[in-house]
A and B are shown apart, each in its own frame.
Chain A
Amino acid sequence: MEALFARTGLADLYEKVVQGERLSYDDGLRLYRTPELTAVGALANVVRERMNGDATYYVRNLHINYTNICNKLCKFCSFYAPPGDPRGYVLTPDDIVARLAEHRDHVIREIHMVAGINPKLPYQYYLDILRSVRAARPEAQIKAFTMIELAQIARAAKKPLGDVLEDLKGAGLACVPGGGAEVFSDRVHEELFRAKLDNEGWFQVAREVHRAGLRSNATMLYGHIETVEEKVKHLLHIRELQDETKGFQCFVPLAFDPARTELEHIPVTTGQQNLREIAIARLLLDNFPHIKAFWIMITPQIAQLALWYGADDLDGTVSHYEITHALGTASHHQALSHQELLDLISEAGRVPVERDALYNVIPEQLAVGGQQSAKGSVSLRVLSSSS
């Protein structure tokens, strides 16, 4: 590998990465600017294999978007209906239970609930939906509410966020997805999502979430109007908070999908952009245990390749997907079957490891069944050596 790095002009970064040294702001800029995508991927792969070996995590999950009514009007969002719009909906606790019932024959370990910022919803509503979900699927963990929603819930509760988080935990909240971070730049915030929680606000909420003992993910929405400098700052800002709280489990670069948004003139992200964002996240966020390739946004093909560009998590089988809150994508009714997901991973020479929402490994006999035992046993070996 060293010989091959020589011609890329990144030999010094290879040295640094192999030594486990922390990368700087300038290193980040170089990683964004070099045309040598393979080199960036190979660097990220060094870190990926050091932290996670061949293990590739996935979860059997279900997404529920409890309301699409939102008063934030983010320009990159194609999901929301403004208050009063006839397309608006709110799922009642019973609606949600009915939807869960449709999936009664499927294993579900994580229920992912996010939605718009609907000022009409009372505090009690949030507690009710958590409790109903927990009662309907007690074995599944609930991952719910972006930082923006949490700020709104606290507003509805008229209580300090810390107390609200305790209530939500009591009602069944297991962890927090971390969306809504977009790009931490006042310029981008002003232009694209001015009504939404500002950058400092996002950090405040994240800090409190972690302080309450809840773990979260962090995200970055790319492929709109952001600059390379803004992205590096975003990543380093998140790295700093992680140094402080250690509450993040996973980082998810989110590819902006311009379809049906106010930014429709922007072309969709390329495969190169998708892989580069994943690789740079893996390299700069040296204190994040996991980097996710979210196949729904970047295609299963690119997500598979991403397993060699820094990613160690493929999210899940994802049944039912309407929103990416703060990701700006609507109506992706896509799903990969459990077997397809396993094939995707093992064809790429990696080892599938089923997890729950908190990255606990599902024991192999539950995870993949008898016929997969060969794969399963490898996964356990990898895991026990890294935990």
Chain B
Amino acid sequence: MSGNGASRLQEIEAKVLAEGRLSGEDGLALLQVTNLPWLGFLADTVRRRKRPEREVTYVVGRIINYTNVCWVKCTFCAFYRLPGHQEGYVLSREEIFQKIQDAVDHGGTEVLFQGGLNPALKIDYFEEIFRAIRRRFPVHIHGLSPAELIYLAKISRLSLRETLLRLKSAGLGTIPGGGAEILVDDVRQAISPLKDTVEEWLDCMRTAHQVGIPSSATMMFGSVETAAQRVEHLLRLRSLQDETGGFTAFVAWNFQPDGTDLKGKRASAFDYLRTVAVARLMLDNFGNIQASWLTQGPKVAQIALHYGVNDLGSTIFEERVVSAGGTKFMASREEIERVIADAGYTPRVRNTRYEILR
């Protein structure tokens, strides 16, 4: 690193220690840093500020991929089947209840309800199933990413706001930030041309936050985007968070190339930790940064706890969208707690709103 570069990084270090806000250029400089422990130290400074307790949280939940039928054809997706394809499915109510019962029996408090954009499923389908779930089970429904919501509003001939209000009264609690990929239209055009635009995605989150539905935010990195576009993504999330305060957490996961149209290499563990640390540093208005156990595996997810991460997500995984792309990590509660304790933190169970339960 040149002398110039070193003093630039010292400036950034001083800024972080003084609780200053980092600029886009700062973020870009940090994404070029190779001194990993230094970056970890810095990210951990912010993490301690946000979460002074030496605790790491997780939620006991279950993912329900209610349908794999989808017409969007994202190049990175190995999960979808086009409408009419013989491998397409929609889970029956009984199958859904069975899965939720299973989760509840294991102490589950959250159901992540996520699927493809299936033209056959309109608002009444979701209202009915959410009401039925809430009648039967004491679980929080975390579901429907912006792409699903925008499409649902369209085929149901409703405004987004109305759609969200109706889903909320049917029992929708929070929204996963999935489908954000990289919030830069050039990148979205390249990897999921039929999906919502950046403005649509942000608008959907804004509306949700306004009607009282908090959400998480994600970033899928390592496909075709540049470092500058990663930074742009983070800045867009940060400014919406300034506006609404409705994001509960941020989670980054790396693009999983196996079985998708987008060939390419999987981002390395080094790139993952660096990206997560930079996210912790840039997203100074986010309370929580979550590690993607699912895509990184337990070993790297554990190390991420020293790079700004304070949450390990959900224990019971059935994320077909990701696992069809080649990653097969599961987490039992025992394992998740062992990994947290081994890293020097106390494991705590939270709910979807990041309130500590145990």
Contacts and interface: CB of A to CB of B under 8 A. Distances in A.
B37 A272 contact: no
User: Which residue, A35, A298, A309, has most C-beta atoms of chain B within 10 A?
Assistant: A35
Interface string A270-300: 1111110000000000000000000000110
B270 A347 contact: yes
A4 B299 contact: no
A259 to B, nearest CB: 15
Given A38-B40, A305-B269, A267 B343 contact: no
Nearest to B300: A301
Given A301-B268, A305-B273, A270 B299 contact: yes
A305 B302 CA distance: 12
Contacts of B36: 41, 305, 308, 348
Nearest to A1: B38
Nearest to B342: A270
Contact of A299 (B41, B297, B306): B297
Nearest to B335: A267
A3 B13 contact: yes
B18 to A, nearest CB: 11
Main secondary structure of the interface of B (DSSP, over half): helix
Interface residues of A, number: 32
B287 to A, nearest CB: 21
Contacts of A347: 268, 270-271
A360 B231 CA distance: 42
Contacts of A301: 268-269, 296-297, 299-300
Nearest to B34: A349
B299 A271 contact: yes
A13 to B, nearest CB: 14
B268 A4 contact: no
Given A38-B37, A272-B302, A299-B297, A343 B269 contact: no
A56 B339 CA distance: 29
A274 B306 contact: no
Interface in A332-355: 343-344, 347-350
Query: Which one of B36, B268, B339 has the highest number of Cβ atoms from chain A below 10 Å of its Cβ?
Result: B36
Contacts of B303: 37, 271-272, 275, 302, 305
Contacts of A65: none
Contacts of A267: 335, 338
A298 B40 CA distance: 21
B38 A302 contact: no
A42 interface: yes
Contact of B342 (A4, A42, A273): A273
Contacts of B265: 343
A78 interface: no
B224 to A, nearest CB: 17
B279 interface: no
A41 B1 CA distance: 19
Interface in A256-275: 267, 270-275
Contacts of B344: 35-37
A45 B271 CA distance: 18
Interface in A20-72: 35-39, 41-42, 45
A148 B37 CA distance: 38
Nearest to A5: B41
A141 interface: no
Given A267-B338, A308-B37, A302 B42 contact: no
10 contacts: A37-B306, A37-B344, A45-B37, A270-B338, A270-B343, A301-B297, A304-B270, A344-B268, A349-B34, A349-B270
Interface of A: 1, 3-4, 35-39, 41-42, 45, 267, 270-275, 298-299, 301-302, 304-305, 308-309, 343-344, 347-350
A-B interface, 9 closest residue pairs, ranked by CB to CB distance from nearest: A35-B344, A349-B34, A271-B299, A301-B269, A42-B37, A308-B36, A4-B41, A38-B40, A348-B270
